[in-house]
Amino acid sequence: MTDAEPLIIELIDTPSKKGIIISPSNLHTDLNHVVLMKILKFYRAEGIIKLLPNTLDDLWTMQRVIFTGDAVSGKSLRRFRGNETDEGELKEIYVTLLVEKTELDKTAQRLKVLGKILDGKPLEYVRLNSYHTLNVAPNDAVEIRKGRWPAYLVSVLEGAVSDTHKPRLGVIAVDDEKALPAYLLGYGIEFRDEVYSRLSKRMSSKDYQEAEKKYFEEIISIIRNMEVNTVIIAGPGFTKDQVRSYMENAGTMKTLGKNILFKSTSNVERSGVYELIRSDEVSGILDKEKIRDEFILMEEFLKGLQLGKSKHGCAAVIDALESYEASNVIVNDSVLGKSDYQKALSVAEKMKAKVTVFNSSDEVGQQLSGFEDIGCF
């Protein structure tokens, strides 16, 4: 079995358990596709979901759906001391915490879940009601229990699972001065360190050609190391075309094993990358990508504001939904655990409105934060 194997869903319908189990199949799949979240089991009636994260993206997704008051279970280490002077030794335990807060450590690739111990085993190594932190890493199975799992939270997890079958996208914005690499990930856009050409018109023709060749080779190296199927090279001038000619003459296009596209942008800053994502030129690639969907929804919301058809803020959203004046709700992930927002989203679920959760740290999410983190149209 490989991490890239697709998932199949097995329905559970017994007197004691009702839900789904998702497990790997033996079907052939493209190993270039990156596997994200696995839902190992989902017992809807009991409010239990068991997840197996594989990447930092998955840990971020888990943080979006774990709230204060949830019960989270998983394996952990706890120091056990025989007496006060004993240095103690680390023992592996399986513990259930009543969650008080979560923190995502991107550097260590850990999701820290802090809370009081409700239950655990072996009992001799567990002190009930004491504080403990679960440090969840990729490939650590975790069980989350809620009073109920609303549909909009389940859709957040299902979106992470469906990303298994989608290639992520790489972008390199280039001109004659620098190259800006970026990844389109499940949670938004991640920019990498810029690479500078160090080209100067004061150089001799020979030195300029050598520096240009080195610059192009650095760009090729970035493309080669991007763990994606498709890379877009974009920019405002002729540099992208020169990169293309260099790659074609060197035979690099064939050896990279990636789909390389060349598009135009007005600049090579972050705004140029966002411009590219919004453009119709790449709509065929990004139509199914969540980040593009968020841009489109935000544009629809803003147009509705001008016409008086969009609303924002919990009270206004509830009123619009109950008056049948809205069928789409957009909300930032940073407020999903707050009671007034949960009330608004419960109304949305009752009225069968479509709920889309934005990444609050991404450009669109930051824009939505100016409208009380929730809107409808």
Residue 336 has pLDDT above 90, yes or no: yes
Judge contact between 357 and 333, C-beta under 8 A: yes
Q: In the chain, count of helices (H) and strands (E)?
A: 11, 19
Question: What mean pLDDT is reported for the chain?
Answer: 85
Is residue 287 scored above 70 in pLDDT?
Answer: no
Whole-number pLDDT of residue 34: 42
> Do 122 and 262 reside in the same domain of the chain?
no
Predicted TM-score (pTM) of the model is 0.62
Is residue 2 in a domain?
no
What CATH number should be reported for the domain holding residue 339?
A: 3.30.1330.30
pLDDT given at position 54: 85
Whether residue 15 has pLDDT greater than 80 = no
Domain encompassing residue 142: 7-165
Check if the beta carbon of residue 229 is closer than 8 Å to that of residue 259: yes
Among 223, 257, 286, identify where a domain stops: 286
Separation between Cα atoms, residue 221 and residue 236, nearest integer Å: 22
Same domain, 263 and 359: no
Output b/e per residue, 269-301; b: 16+ Cβ within 10 A.
Answer: eeebbbbbbeeeebeebbeebbbbebbebbeeb
What's the order of all strands across the beta sheet hosting 110-121? 7-13, 18-24, 38-43, 48-52, 142-145, 71-80, 89-105, 110-121, 131-136
Residue the block writes with tokens 């824009």: 367
SS3 sequence of 280-310: HHHHHHHCCCHHHHHHHHHHHHHHHHHHCCC
pLDDT of residue 119: 96
Does any domain span residue 123?
yes
3-state DSSP call for residue 6?
Answer: coil
Q: Answer yes or no: do 340 and 361 share one domain.
A: yes
Examine residue 300 and state whether it is found in any structural domain, yes or no: yes
Please report where in the chains the tokens 């199927």 appear, as a residue: 229
Phi, psi of 144 (to 5 degrees): -120, 125
* Same domain as 100, residue 88: yes
In the prediction, which pLDDT does 19 show? 39
* 12 and 160 inside one domain: yes
Asked if pLDDT for residue 62 goes beyond 80, the answer is yes
